[in-house]
Amino acid sequence: MITPSRKYAHARYRKPPKLHKGLDARLNALHGLYRRRPQLLRKIREQAETIDREADDWHKFKDSQLRNRLFELRDRFRRTRETDDDELVNAALGALREAAHRKLGLRPYNVQLMGALALNGGFLAEMATGEGKTLTAGLAAVLNGWTNRPCHIITVNDYLVERDCKWMSPLYDYCGITSSFVTGGMEPQRRQEGYAADVTYTTAKEVLADFLRDRLQAGLIQDPSRRLIRHLLGANRPGRDEFILRGLHTAIVDEADSVLIDEAVTPLIISSQRANQALTDASNLATEISGGFQIDIHYRLNIRYREVEFTKAGLEMIDEVCQKFHGLWRNPQRCEELIRQSLLAREFYKLGKQYIVEDEKIVIVDEFTGRPMPMRSWQQGIHQAVEAKEELEISDPTETVARRSFQRFFRYFHKLSGMTGTAREASAELWQIYNLPVVTIPTNRPCIREEKPDRVFLSADAKWKAVVEEVQRVHATGQPVLVGTRSVVASEKLASMLAEKDLRYNVLNASRLRKEAEIIAEAGREGCITIATNMAGRGTDIKLGVGVADFGGLHVIATERHESGRIDRQLFGRCARQGDPGSCQAFVSADDEIIKKYLSEPEKKMLRTALVSRRPGAAKLFAAALVRAQRKSERTAAKQRRAVLRKDVWLEQSLSFAGGGED
């Protein structure tokens, strides 16, 4: 039987940290700097070394003895329900290391211990890919599992959820805790069981969806204290009390930057579809009407802010349209809005760049990362306008029942921690929004990646030509090449250019996702050429083929800089893993989008003159300009995310008459 107080625990989650403003925000940022201070890493390192020194003691234990000691530790953790006693944690990690060795055949390196310590301390551990993050998370999860508080390990996809859980479960069993996983398509019953385990592997999508369903069940009264009081008073029960989750406490998020930053504002929507003939008709009609609008005559574009500005002629035309049709179109504002959306869809939403079409449906491609985001949809109207443009069936606007962005959701965890290969660039934002300090864990073996200086070109054409030549050159040496492109269109273009040279290659992009595993498996083999948009397998390694290390390992070519330095680093991180050799180089040009979008006209002009003059400093100047542009874009994006969160919080507070009111 579930006692009322347990129900209380199931409905409980943390009140999110305050979003600071003005001077408070500055102070908070300083606090964040303090929490990221380098001394912390030293402390973690020392702690890991202490554990390492005592490793031999554990080694001597017999199996049954080790198990007994582990159970003892479990009891101690369960009593305090906290994991912040350094001595206890040291002992526990020492024992776990030995247990992992015996049960999984993997003996965690010191850096993995450091990672586990960081996760346990509520940090975002920046660990290079291939450093054994799964095991690191497992170690930290055991500590949390022992406290019997819900511990969720959030990974990227269902495949990894299942794999990691199965992989680690011998360790969990050995330590006396239960583990389970939740993936898409599971029945509520099985989900509940999954979450009931001490450690649960799942994806962000699943856990958020279950959380929202629980909220819906909870009905109007969400606050656990008020629910408990009602229950104890025997008053009419607000909603059913069968929650699927058993509360939120600890989360260990893998690829934390993609979840917490890149997809942060993507809302998860629980919805039922509802026909809206008016919107469907309006979208089709708007596309038809907007066909008569011509650029620079009726409207102008603002590229940086992605806006359409109507000229006088355009406005007159809208007025005319207003007269012609009925209903919605009679209101000039609405009319303008619809046509504007249609024009936006035409001018700024391009197939292969912002979206791809899959199964007669629009799938949005994230512009930051180049990954397809099937869950996403654009705001009401735009989505339909794009569909109308592609002459697809207009999808009915979904009727939202519950909706929450990942950003807001992850603020509910009492103890949030995460791992990723690239987080430094976003450390300020991670602190500001999640109170999550970043700590960079060194690699186990020194990284011998050779980062060649950028090659700079005046025009995109010159750049592409050089890329092809470079691919040819490297290919001739037998080194495998991975070419990263920013968009699907670019990857197809490069593919055709390579085909002209009779080179064999594989293309991995948002519209050819199926063969991902195969292509990745092949990518590290001798002489293999792979073209990939920046989606190529997070969480899976490109393993070097036999003998490839002798050629110098994988060579990565970036054909453009991304909007964030993080994504660049992710691409470069594909090579030279775990101490393997590898090299990388970026090809950039003054025509690149990031330059166009984020630098001012005078800056662009200066760059061009510098490049034309071919002075030696030009490349340096260009590099500096790129850094500046990336900073600017990162800042803009972070600002947008913050604004979304702020608006969410405001709404929550202002509409608390409609139930809820968590923030």
Partner 1 sequence: MAKSSPTFSESWYRVADQNIRLRTGIKVRRQNFRGERWFVLENPFSNQFFRLRPAAYEFVSRLSRNRTVEEVWKECLEVFPEESAGQEEVIRLLAQLYHSNLLEYDVANDAQQLFERYKKRRHKEVKARFTNIMFMRFPLFNPDRFLVNSLPFVGKLLGRAGAVIWILVVVAALKLVIENWDALLNQSQSVLSPQNLLLLYAGLAIIKTLHEFGHAYFCRKFGGEVHVMGIMLLIFTPIPYMDATSSWGFRSKWKRILVGAAGMIVEIFVAAIAVFVWAKTAPGTVHNLAYNMIFVASVSTVLFNANPLLRFDGYYILSDLLEIPNLHQRAANQLKYFFKRHVYGLKDLRRPTDSRKQAFWLTFFGIASNIYRIIVFSGIILFVADRFLLLGIIMALVCLTGWIVVPLCKFINYLAASPELDRHRTRAVASTAILLGGIFCFLQFVPFPRHFRAPGILQARERTQIAVKAPGLLDEILTANGSRVTEGQALVQLGNDELGLELTAAEAQQEEIKARLLQAMKMETANLKPLQSMLQAADDRVSKTLEDIEHLTVRARQDGIWIAPSLPDAEGRWLARGAAIGMIIDPSEFEFTATVVQDDVDRLFTDKIPKAEVRIPGQAGEVIPIGALNIIPAEQRLLPSPVLGWSGGGEIQTDMRDPEGRTAAQPFFEVRAEVLEDAGQQLFHGRSGKIRFRIGSQPLLPRWIRRLRQLLQKRYQL
- Give the shortest CB-271-to-partner 1 separation in angstroms: 8
Distances from the Cα of 202 to the Cα of 59, 161, 189, angstroms? 33, 6, 15
Q: How far is the CB of 496 from partner 1 (least distance, A)?
A: 38
327 DSSP 8-state letter: G
Sequence letter at residue 507:
V
Closer of 33 and 658 to partner 1 (Cβ): 658
Task: Report the nearest approach of partner 1 to the CB of residue 572 (Å).
Answer: 32
| Best CA proximity match to 280, nearest among 168, 355, 380 | 380
What count of other Cβ atoms lies within 10 Å of the Cβ of residue 295? 13
Residue with tokens 């899976």: 540
Question: Which is closer to partner 1, CB of 131 or CB of 648?
Answer: 648
Binding pattern for the stretch 318-347 against partner 1, x by CB under 8 A and - elsewhere: ---------xx-xx-xx-xx----------
Query: Does residue 314 touch partner 1 according to CB under 8 A?
Result: no
Rounded-to-integer distance, Cα 176 and Cα 162, Å:
20
Q: C-beta of 105: minimal distance to partner 1 in Å?
A: 49
Cβ nearer to partner 1, comparing 178 with 398: 398
CA distance 4 to 208: 24
Least distance to partner 1, CB of residue 302, Å: 8
Q: Which residue has the tokens 């030696």?
A: 616
Instruction: State the residue for tokens 């085909």.
Output: 499
Stated length of the chain: 663
Whole-number minimum distance, CB 337 to partner 1, in Å? 6
Whichever of 359 and 601 has its CB closer to partner 1, that residue is 601
Minimum Å gap between C-beta 478 and partner 1 is: 50
Contacts of 624 (CB under 8 A, 6+ apart): none
Candidate residues 397, 418, 421, 537; the one interacting with partner 1 per rule CB under 8 A: 397
CB 561, min distance to partner 1, A: 23
x-or-dash pattern for partner 1, window 589-628, by CB under 8 A? -----------x----------------------------
Reading the block at residue 189, the tokens are: 């019953």
What does residue 503 show for φ and ψ, rounded to 5 degrees?
Answer: -100, 145
Q: Does 273 bind partner 1 (CB under 8 A)?
A: no
Does position 653 interact with partner 1 (CB under 8 A)? The reply is: yes
| Total chain residues near partner 1 (CB under 8 A) | 40
Question: Of 539 and 661, which CB lies nearer to partner 1 in the complex structure?
Answer: 661
If DSSP codes are grouped into helix, strand and coil, which group holds residue 438? strand
Looking at residue 554, the DSSP 8-state letter turns out to be E
Specify whether the CB–CB gap between 566 and 572 falls below 8 A: no
The answer to whether 201 and 178 have CB atoms below 8 angstroms apart is no
In angstroms, the CA 224 to CA 263 distance is 29
**How far is Cα 108 from Cα 116, in angstroms, rounded to an integer?**
10
327 or 453: CB nearest partner 1: 327
Among 59, 190, 361, 403, indicate the residue that binds partner 1 (CB under 8 A). Answer: 403
DSSP state of 425: G
d(CA 588, CA 607): 12
Stretch that binds partner 1, among 242-250, 302-310, 342-350, 538-546 (CB under 8 A): 302-310
Q: Which stretch binds partner 1 (CB under 8 A): 146-154, 256-264, 395-403, 507-515?
A: 395-403
Q: Does 267 bind partner 1 (CB under 8 A)?
A: yes
387 CB-side CA count, 13 A: 26
3-state secondary structure of 125: strand
Using the rule CB under 8 A, is 305 a contact of partner 1? yes
**Span from 103-111, 246-254, 456-464, 652-660 in contact with partner 1 (CB under 8 A):** 652-660
Q: Cα 145 to the chain's mean position, in Å?
A: 25
Specify the DSSP class assigned to residue 291. Answer: T
Going from the C-alpha of 457 to that of each of 460, 488, 560, 612, the distances in angstroms are 7, 22, 11, 9
Rg, C-alpha atoms of the chain: 27
- Tell me how far, at minimum, the Cβ of 402 lies from partner 1, in Å: 8
User: 487-526 mask for partner 1 (x: CB under 8 A)?
Assistant: ----------------------------------------
Region of 105-113, 297-305, 431-439, 534-542 interacting with partner 1 (CB under 8 A): 297-305
Interacting span for partner 1 (CB under 8 A) from 82-90, 139-147, 301-309, 425-433: 301-309
Among the listed residues 27, 216, 303, 643, the single contact to partner 1 using CB under 8 A: 643
Smallest distance from partner 1 to CB 327, Å:
7
CA distance 99 to 93: 9
The single residue among 1, 3, 22, 359 that binds partner 1, judged by CB under 8 A, is: 22
Binds partner 1 by CB under 8 A, chosen from 132, 478, 539, 661: 661
Report how far residue 459's alpha carbon sits from residue 494's, in angstroms, rounded to the nearest whole number: 15
Supply the minimum distance, in Å, between the C-beta of residue 330 and partner 1.
6
C-alpha pair distances (Å), 367 with each of 263, 302, 471, 534, 574? 11, 18, 25, 10, 20
- Least Å distance between CB 22 and partner 1? 7
Part of the chain binding partner 1 (CB under 8 A), chosen from 47-55, 215-223, 459-467, 621-629: 215-223
Does 223 bind partner 1 (CB under 8 A)? Our answer is: yes
Query: Which 8-state DSSP code applies to residue 239?
Result: S
Task: Give min distance, CB of 533 to partner 1, in A.
Answer: 28
Q: Measured between alpha carbons, how far is 519 from 323 in angstroms, rounded to an integer?
A: 56
Which C-beta is closer to partner 1: that of 527 or that of 661?
A: 661
The answer to the question of residue 437 lying near partner 1 (CB under 8 A) is no
401 touching partner 1, by CB under 8 A: yes
| Residue 306 near partner 1 by CB under 8 A | no
- In whole angstroms, how close is the CB of 251 to partner 1 at the nearest point? 25
Q: Please give the Cα distance from 78 to 145 (Å, whole number).
A: 9
Between 400 and 477, name the residue whose CB sits nearer to partner 1: 400
Backbone phi, psi, residue 124, to 5°: -95, 115
Phi-psi region of 300 (alpha: psi -120 to 50; beta: other; left: phi over 0): beta
Give me the DSSP letters along 242-287.
--SS----EEEEETHHIIIIITTTPEEEEEEE---HHHHHHHHHHH
Which one, 627 or 655, has the nearer CB to partner 1?
655
Question: Applying CB under 8 A, which part among 65-73, 185-193, 478-486, 647-655 lies near partner 1?
Answer: 647-655
Q: Select from 27, 313, 612, 651 the one that contacts partner 1 (CB under 8 A).
A: 651
Here the tokens at position 633 are 């874009």
Q: Which residues pair with 419 in a beta bridge?
A: 125, 254
Question: Is 379 a binder of partner 1 (CB under 8 A)?
Answer: yes
Least distance to partner 1 from the beta carbon of 396, Å?
A: 13
654 near partner 1 (CB under 8 A)? yes
Residues lying near partner 1 in the complex (CB under 8 A) are found at: 22, 220-221, 223, 267, 279, 302, 304-305, 327-328, 330-331, 333-334, 336-337, 379-381, 397, 399-403, 600, 639, 643, 650-651, 653-661
